[in-house]
Chains A and B, each alone.
Chain A
């Protein structure tokens, strides 16, 4: 018995994709294995770690808790879509580099997408708001200290007040 396939249309980082997948294919797997966008990582597959966070029509969601077929018709932003148009690092990415906000890099894509949306909604977070912004993502390497700094640094970069490094 072969599983029924469903047509899924996704616009990922501005690029339209059409794939046919079984209903049970998780969005995280569809992005990684059907579309080859392996920047989105899978750390727990039960929605707790946040590594797989992508933006679904602009809002951060766990791509491991969504079926690709459910997301069909949506616009998805993954880490690959966060660089500036000229190919340079986007402000959140740059802030992570400036602040040593990553070590092994596995959880990083989920933080980057989450913070990108977070700063869009709240461009000038207080220190506590910067912590709250990343409160749903697990990192085992950094102890979060430099990620919080990176949120604050990214806010500066976006506001154009950051000193160049």
Chain B
């Protein structure tokens, strides 16, 4: 029997090309293509009075310059609002090129195409724009005060207001024996993949066909948008996602202005055109996330058990709302984590500011929600003088309570029902892994050396694998090679390996014979995209279904050839054989030959399928209900999301003088159901933890009052190097299979980053002991300077 590949840490098939430098990212394609550069607004809020491009037109090497006035038809309309929601009463999206007004620094105003990027940038510098300045709205306080408006026709700067509730939280809180009230703020960070956005387009005049290569998380979405905006039939547009240098959420937004302007320019100029975003542009014209101001009212009993939870928060959505309300909806629902609130009410407002748009970044609203909930747990423990782990345990949904219905609506419009999990066991594992029980001795020992040690704990539940669907196409070629196509795109998660593992098992072929193609609309035109930790669950399940269907077909054809019953056949190492009689077998490639009745042979093997060699003259060559070819296409569309869970713990060591925060050790316990490839899952957790450390201790978008982003570079936006991340991350898994898919899997991509803000707030506070009761750390991220200021404030006001 072939070794089962599912569950094995198989080395990745994509690595070879990356390690040799032969990967193909979008800027590696289209040698000699014309290059674009974008004139971007230097002002956060201004009316455009005039754009003078006359100095550019005669410049050597410049081929075209576009402004709003050059856009026609659908291109002159605002970009799509991707995810409408009834509560999004004042959704606004930008134009591909600013029409009359700019609403954030970095908004695209003019688009120049030149021989190369150097010349394109020279030309951009020569365009003269006359602005009439408008007062900018920066930060949630200004947005809420609404003394100034981002959009004239959006009163109060409120894009949306949404409330959900279960039970009667205000009454339950009023009647509770204990009550607390907390304000918990969190600042902006961003996905910041190492490769920015990029798009290349080639218009083939002869065949009237547009081909677009873009660094996206959804090639089908871009395809639909390009066709709609450029007035092309869907069938005229191919979108191919090449190798992508990281996404983390930002590349799910589409179409970016450049994803439309590049194809437009390619068609106008009749030459390939490319746009490669530079790092500064990525900071000011892609997307950010996280900024929320959150208020929690909680009532609880003597054991710390929640009786009522009333949360109100304000979400900074930036200048436009192309991605709808996904982030705040996730916060409002995933905030609950592994706990039973009994009575819950959540209200949010999504508010405009004159800053870069806010769309999902790995974690997508969950880090904020977990931060609110976990800080609340810490506050309850502090108030009651109880152990933080004990208070959490008192509130857990128990293993026998699944499926657990929160009676709320999740981000996919479906009920928030947890499918499976075992939170008490996760807690046992994490406290053992970090050494929770023996920590006081460790703290005392460190204190004797003049160091401040603290320990933190944070729990989360993550809805993964949201719909609507994903598909897969499996094709066995006559060589026996298996070609698999999935529609969603890949950005480093090892999909080509993990899905080949599934196919190898399901179809009974060697892993090496399976090749997976992702994100190419020519190969799989129906797909949604890579987000919400959904690729493994959605495409993995679709791949399994398609492989199974392919196998069933192979067995039917082989049964006839081998004159055996389907039930007596098995596929082993790429050959169909009669169980117990391995000599009676037929290679899968030959089955592929037989699956396609031929009139014309093209090689020796295919001769076996021609009309004088095969087939019962009394039956049609292609049987009723069958199709030629050994291939199958299947789709997976689950009723609702599956819920992964995890707990992180950390020990920090803080310098009493300089307030520098050092990570002593970091532990993760994670339950994403069955693991396809444990090595890849571990890598996802490592990466998430590092991003979480960045988001909790280093990264923040620093806007000044004028809406200028002060740290739009890697010099000043402090993404962690190796020296800032834990030296070693202890990981333990729990595998609670999901009942919602046959593989029993749940998503794992975002998990590592979700609890970090909550975790470090808890640990730093534990080390600092700034207040005997209540919370001192109520704003994240926290830097040494901010911690120092907090210490000083505490000395003045030890409330």
A→B interface (CB under 8 Å): 1-2, 22, 24-25, 32-33, 36-46, 48-49, 51, 78-80, 83, 89, 93, 96-98, 100, 102-109, 112, 127, 131, 134-148, 165
Q: Are B714 and A44 interface neighbours, CB within 8 A?
A: yes
By a beta-carbon cutoff of 8 Å, the part of chain B in contact with chain A is 11-12, 14-25, 27-28, 31, 60, 116, 118, 192-195, 243-246, 248, 278-279, 491-494, 679-680, 682-683, 685-691, 713-715, 719, 721-723, 725, 727-729, 752
Nearest neighbor of B14 in chain A, beta-carbon distance:
A105
The answer to whether B719 touches A106 (Cβ under 8 A) is: no
Given A48-B713, A142-B683, A146-B686, CB of A98 within 8 Å of CB of B11: yes
27 A-B interface contacts by CB (under 8 A)? A32-B28, A37-B21, A38-B21, A38-B24, A41-B25, A41-B245, A46-B713, A89-B19, A96-B15, A97-B11, A97-B15, A100-B11, A104-B193, A104-B243, A105-B23, A105-B243, A106-B246, A109-B21, A137-B721, A137-B722, A138-B721, A140-B687, A140-B719, A141-B683, A143-B683, A143-B687, A143-B691
> Is the pair B18, A32 in contact by a Cβ cutoff of 8 Å?
no
Alpha-carbon separation in the docked complex, A103 to B490 (Å): 10
Asked if B721 and A142 sit within 8 Å, CB to CB, the answer is no
On whether the beta carbons of A142 and B686 are closer than 8 Å, the reply is yes
B685 neighbours in A (Cβ, 8 Å): 143
Residues on A with C-beta less than 8 A from B17 are 105
Q: Does the CB pair A22–B21 fall under 8 Å?
A: no
Bound complex: CA of A79 vs CA of B719, how far in Å?
24
| Shortest distance between the CB of A113 and any CB in chain B (Å) | 10
Distance between Cα atoms of A105 and B194 in the complex (Å): 9
Whether A144 and B245, one on each chain, are in contact in the complex, defined by CB atoms closer than 8 angstroms, is: no
User: Assuming A131-B723, A140-B248, A143-B687, is B193 touching A48 (CB within 8 A)?
Assistant: no
Cα-based distance from A138 to B690 in the complex (angstroms) = 11
Residues of chain A lying within 8 A (CB to CB) of residue B248: 140
Residues of A within 8 A of B20 (CB): 39, 79-80, 83, 89, 93
- Whole-angstrom distance between the alpha carbons of A38 and B22 in the complex? 7
Residues of A within 8 A of B714 (CB): 44, 46, 48-49, 138
Which residue from B19, B193, B246 sits with its C-beta under 8 Å from A97? B19
Contacting residues, chain A, for B688 (C-beta < 8 A): 143
Q: How far is the CB of A84 from chain B (nearest CB, A)?
A: 11
B721 to chain A, nearest CB (A): 6
A136 to B720 alpha-carbon distance, docked (Å): 10
Knowing A46-B713, A103-B494 touch, does A78 contact B21 (C-beta < 8 A)? yes
Decide: A131 and B727 in contact? CB cutoff 8 A: yes
Q: How far is the CA of A127 from the CA of B715 in the complex (A)?
A: 27
Q: A48-B713, A105-B492, A146-B686 are in contact. Are A140 and B14 (CB under 8 A)?
A: no
B-side interface mostly: loop
Check if B278 sits within 8 Å of A45, measured CB to CB: yes
Contacts of A39 in B (CB 8 A): 20-23
Which secondary structure dominates chain A's binding surface? loop
Most buried by A among B19, B714, B715, B728: B19
Contact B31 A36 (CB under 8 A): yes
Is the pair B690, A33 in contact by a Cβ cutoff of 8 Å?
A: no
- Bound form: Cα–Cα A107–B491 in Å: 13
A106 touches B722 (CB 8 A): no
Please, which residues of chain A bring their CB within 8 A of the CB of B682?
A: 100
- Whether A140 lies near B727 (C-beta < 8 A) is no
A134–B28 CB distance below 8 A: no
| Min C-beta distance of A14 to chain B, whole Å | 15
Chain B hits for A36, CB < 8 A: 31
4 interchain residue pairs of minimum CB distance? A39-B21, A104-B492, A106-B245, A105-B18
- Rounded to whole angstroms, the CA-CA distance of A108 and B102 in the bound complex is 38
- Are B60 and A147 in contact, CB atoms less than 8 angstroms apart? no
Query: Which residue of A106, A143, A147 is within 8 Å of B193 (Cβ)?
Result: A106
Bound together, the chains give a CA A93 to CA B31 distance in angstroms of: 26
Write out the residue numbers on chain B whose beta carbons fall within 8 Å of the beta carbon of A131. Answer: 722-723, 727
Residues of B within 8 A of A112 (CB): 19
B21 and A145 contact, CB distance less than 8 A: no
Rounded to whole angstroms, the CA-CA distance of A36 and B29 in the bound complex is 10
- Kindly provide the distance from the CB of B16 to the nearest chain A CB, expressed in whole angstroms: 7
Question: Is there an interface contact between A89 and B16, defined as CB atoms closer than 8 Å?
Answer: yes
Closest to A38 in B: B28
Q: A39-B22, A102-B18, A105-B23 are in contact. Are A144 and B725 (CB under 8 A)?
A: yes
Chain A residues with CB under 8 A of B719:
138, 140
Q: A1 to B60, Cβ gap below 8 A?
A: yes
Instruction: Give, as a whole number of angstroms, the nearest-CB distance from B310 to chain A.
Output: 36
CA distance A33 to B752 in the complex (A): 37
Contacting pair B12 A144 (CB below 8 A): no
Smallest beta-carbon distance A1→chain B, Å: 7
What 14 new A-B contacts, CB under 8 Å, besides A1-B60, A80-B22?
Answer: A37-B21, A41-B194, A97-B19, A100-B679, A102-B18, A103-B683, A105-B14, A106-B195, A107-B245, A131-B727, A135-B722, A140-B194, A140-B719, A143-B688
Contacts known (A38-B21, A46-B713, A134-B722); A102 close to B31, Cβ less than 8 A: no
Contact of B12 among A22, A41, A100, A127 (CB under 8 A): A100
- The answer on a CB contact under 8 Å between B21 and A103 is no
Nearest CB of chain B from residue A37's CB, rounded to whole Å: 7
B116 neighbours in A (Cβ, 8 Å): 33
Known A103-B683, A105-B14, A145-B686; contact A44-B713, beta-carbon cutoff 8 A: yes
- Interfacial chain B residues near A102, Cβ < 8 Å: 15, 18-19, 492
**Cα distance, A140 to B753, chains bound together (Å):** 12
Supposing A93-B20, A106-B195 touch, asked if A144 and B722 sit within 8 A by C-beta, the answer is: yes
Q: Report chain B residues within 8 Å CB of A165.
A: 11
Residue among A40, A49, A104 with max Cβ neighbours from chain B (10 Å): A104
Q: How far is the CB of B675 from chain A (nearest CB, A)?
A: 14
Verify A148–B722 contact, CB threshold 8 A: yes
Q: Is the CB of A2 within 8 A of B60?
A: yes
- Alpha-carbon distance A25/B12, docked complex (angstroms): 36
* CA–CA, A145 and B693, complex, Å: 14
A27 to B: closest C-beta gap in Å: 14
Which chain A residue has the least Cβ–Cβ distance from B362?
A140
Q: How far is the CB of A120 from chain B (nearest CB, A)?
A: 18
For A79, the closest partner residue in chain B by CB is B21
